[in-house]
Chains A and B, each alone.
Chain A
Amino acid sequence: MAFREKSAWVMAITLLIGAIVYFYLVASADWPIVAKLPAFVVYTAVLIALATIGHIAIAVFSPKEANASADEREKQIAHRASHIASYVLGAGVLLGILIYLVVPLGDVLFYVVFASLMLSHLADYVAQIVLYRS
């Protein structure tokens, strides 16, 4: 397995865990939900730490590949996966706007857009894995 595919696995698993925790916390929060900066910072820092640890772990076993730049196929896969992810982000933001028109709460809009951002990144890495394996 190429280093970048391993990297995509690390990011997909990290973001999947992050998404599960995120939706659990949002679903179990008291309504109307309020966006809190400290919680957002801690959540993002934990995700970055998990992704960094995962990447260090895979880089230890393939240091040469970890330092190499992406080749033509890897760039093409990244480009196609980003294209797919852009639709997820767009759909999420559109959903957020529509929800805002019905329920004009900025905090809800924040959570919908943040979820869209996270799901679009998850879609990006899942698409990369699928493209690497097809």
Chain B
Amino acid sequence: MAKRPPIENRVRELRNAHGGMTQLELADAIGVTRQTVIAIEQNRYSPTLESAFRIAHVFGVGLDEVFSWSEDSD
């Protein structure tokens, strides 16, 4: 929230690669609100491990293909 988490993600990119999946569709698929998906995409919120796995599962990729550690924040 206030302090940006040191984790980057490719959620928006993966949504677009999956036929332009909407934020609402992804939110419904992983059980959060659309605003939470927006916060994740804008790197204002780091999802729980369970939600991170759910996101990766929806896109059919590994966790490390969605999320990565931001070296700048080290």
Chain B interface, DSSP helix/strand/loop, else mixed: loop
Interface size on A, residues (CB 8 A): 16
By size class, the interface of chain B is 10 to 19
Check: A68 CB closer than 8 A to any chain B CB.
Answer: yes
With A2-B33, A65-B33 as given contacts, are A73 and B45 in contact (CB-CB < 8 Å)?
A: yes
Residues of A within 8 A of B36 (CB): 2, 71-74
Q: Which of B2, B44, B47 contacts A72 (CB 8 A)?
A: B47
Q: Is the CB of A71 within 8 A of B31?
A: yes
Q: C-beta contact mask, B20-50 vs A, less than 8 Å → 1, else 0?
A: 0000000000011111100100001101100
Min CB–CB distance A1 → chain B (angstroms): 7
A12–B69 Cα gap in the complex (Å)?
37
> Can you list 14 A-B contacts with CB-CB less than 8 angstroms, sorted by A residue number?
A2-B33, A2-B35, A2-B36, A68-B33, A71-B33, A72-B32, A72-B36, A73-B35, A73-B36, A73-B39, A73-B47, A74-B33, A74-B36, A134-B2
| Residues of chain A whose beta carbon lies under 8 Å from any beta carbon of chain B | 1-3, 5, 65, 68, 71-74, 76-77, 80, 131-132, 134
